[in-house]
C-alpha cells in the first residue's frame, strides 16, 4: 500500500475515534442532565402540602415522646437548643408544634410552608438565566426561602405561633453587614476579602441553623465575625479534594480558618449573603471581584455561583429524604405514627 494511502487511513481512523469520543461525551452530558431532572422531580415531593403535613405530624409524635428526651427538639440537640434560648430568656418548648393543632390550621400551615419551599426552589432554579451582577441576589433569596421552609418544617416559627413573636428580630437576616457599608469604590480586592459580617443573636440565619445544625447556634450566641476570605476558606475547606480546592489552597494557604465552620450548607448560606450585599449595595466592589486579573478570586467566585444552588438543594433534600424515613421509625418505637 502506498505510504500516502496509509497516512490517509490513519487520519480517517483518528477522525472516527474523535467522532466516537464526542458521541460518548454528548451521551454522558445527556445522561447527566436526565439524572439531574429526575433528582429535581424526586425533590419536589417534599414541597407539596400533603407531604409536609405528614412530615410534621410524625415529627410531633417524635418530639413529644415522654420516654425520649434526646429527640424532643429533633433534629436539634437539646443542650444546644436550651443554651441558645436560655441566653434569649425564652422558653424553648414554645417553638415546637402543638400536639393539638386543629385540622384546618394544619392545612393552612402546610400550604404556607409549601409556598416558601416552592418560592425558594424556583429562585434557585432560575439563577442561570440571570446576569452575573444579579446572581448572588437571586441565590440568596432562594436560600433564605428554602431556609425558612426547612426551619418551619421542624419548628413553628410561622405567624400562627404567637409565642415566637416575643423573640426580637425574628424575621431579620440575622447577619450584620454594617462593616461592608464602609467599602469605597477605590477599595482593592484584598481589602474586600478582609471585610467582615457578624452573627446576630436572632433572625433567619439562626432559625435555619437551629433546624439544620444546632451546633452552629454558639456562633450566634457569641456573635462571631467572619471575613469574606474566612467564609471562602470554610467553603473550600469542606469540599472533597478537587482541582479548584487545590488551587484555592495554593493561593490562600491550607491553614484552618480563624472561625472554623464545619457545615457545607451553612457556608453556602453565609457566602450567598455576603456576595448578595456586595452585588446589591456595593456594585463597584462586586465588579472588582469579577474582573480582577491579578488573582484567581474571580475563578473561585464564579465556581461558587455555578455550583452553589445544586449543592444547597442536593444537601437539604437528601437530609429531608433521610429524615422522612427515619423520623417515623424512631417515633413508632413506642408511639403510633402517621402513614
- Note the pLDDT tens digit of each residue in 7-37: 656 666 676 666 666 555 555 555 454 455 5
Residue 130 covered by a domain: yes
In a domain? residue 139:
yes
Count of structural domains within the chain: 1
Closest CA to 274 of 209, 199, 338, 187: 199
Number of helices and strands (H, E) in the chain?
13, 3
Query: Rounded to whole angstroms, how far apart are CA atoms 320 and 212?
Result: 10
Distance separating alpha carbons of residues 101 and 111, to the nearest angstrom: 15
Residue 4 lies in a domain: no
Question: Is-contact 197 175, C-beta < 8 A?
Answer: yes
Cα→Cα distances 160→102, 109, 185, 330, Å? 12, 8, 45, 28
For residue 336, what pLDDT is reported?
A: 47
3-state SS assignment for residue 234: helix
pLDDT, tens only, 192-214 = 999 999 999 999 999 999 999 99
Cα separation, 178 vs 195, whole angstroms: 10
What letter would DSSP give residue 95? G
| Exposure class string for 192-205: b at 16+ Cβ within 10 A, else e | bbebbbebbbbbbb
Position 326 in a domain = yes
Q: How far apart are CA 264 and CA 275, in angstroms?
A: 17
> 40 lies in a domain?
no
> Has residue 214 been placed in a domain?
yes
Asked if pLDDT for residue 287 goes beyond 50, the answer is yes
What Å distances lie between residue 304 and 100, 299, 318, CA to CA? 44, 9, 20
Is 229 inside any structural domain?
yes
For residue 27, the model assigns a pLDDT of: 54
Q: Structural domain of residue 152, as residue ranges?
A: 48-331
Q: Does residue 26 lie within any of the structural domains?
A: no
Amino acid at each position: 500500500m502506498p505510504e500516502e494511502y496509509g497516512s490517509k487511513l490513519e487520519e480517517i481512523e483518528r477522525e472516527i475515534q474523535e467522532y466516537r469520543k464526542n458521541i460518548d461525551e454528548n451521551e454522558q452530558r445527556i445522561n447527566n442532565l436526565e439524572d439531574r431532572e429526575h433528582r429535581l422531580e424526586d425533590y419536589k415531593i417534599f414541597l407539596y402540602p400533603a407531604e409536609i403535613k405528614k412530615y410534621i405530624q410524625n415529627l410531633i409524635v417524635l418530639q413529644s415522646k415522654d420516654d425520649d428526651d434526646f429527640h424532643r427538639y429533633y433534629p436539634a440537640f437539646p443542650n444546644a437548643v436550651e443554651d441558645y434560648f436560655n441566653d434569649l430568656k425564652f422558653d424553648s418548648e414554645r417553638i415546637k408544634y402543638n400536639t393539638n393543632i386543629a385540622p384546618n390550621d394544619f392545612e393552612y400551615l402546610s400550604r404556607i410552608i409549601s409556598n416558601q419551599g416552592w418560592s425558594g426552589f424556583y429562585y434557585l432554579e432560575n439563577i442561570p438565566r440571570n446576569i452575573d451582577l444579579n446572581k448572588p441576589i437571586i441565590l440568596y433569596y432562594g436560600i433564605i426561602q428554602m431556609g425558612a421552609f426547612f426551619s418551619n418544617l421542624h419548628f413553628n416559627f410561622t405567624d400562627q405561633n404567637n409565642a415566637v413573636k416575643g423573640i426580637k428580630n425574628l424575621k431579620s437576616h440575622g447577619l450584620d453587614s454594617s462593616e461592608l457599608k464602609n467599602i469605597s469604590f477605590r477599595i482593592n480586592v484584598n481589602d474586600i476579602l478582609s471585610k467582615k459580617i457578624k452573627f446576630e443573636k436572632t433572625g433567619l440565619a439562626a432559625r435555619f441553623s437551629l433546624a439544620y445544625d444546632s451546633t452552629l447556634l454558639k456562633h450566634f450566641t457569641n456573635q462571631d465575625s467572619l471575613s469574606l476570605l474566612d467564609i471562602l476558606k470554610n467553603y473550600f475547606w469542606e469540599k472533597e479534594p478537587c482541582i479548584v480546592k487545590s488551587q484555592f489552597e495554593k493561593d490562600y494557604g491550607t491553614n484552618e480558618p480563624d472561625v472554623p465552620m464545619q457545615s457545607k450548607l451553612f457556608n453556602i448560606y453565609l457566602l450567598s449573603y455576603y456576595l448578595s450585599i456586595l452585588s446589591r449595595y456595593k456594585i463597584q466592589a462586586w465588579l472588582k471581584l469579577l474582573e480582577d486579573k491579578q488573582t484567581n478570586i474571580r475563578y473561585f467566585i464564579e465556581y461558587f455561583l455555578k455550583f452553589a444552588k445544586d449543592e444547597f438543594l442536593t444537601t437539604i433534600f437528601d437530609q429531608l429524604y433521610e429524615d422522612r424515613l427515619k423520623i417515623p421509625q424512631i417515633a413508632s418505637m413506642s408511639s403510633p405514627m402517621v402513614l
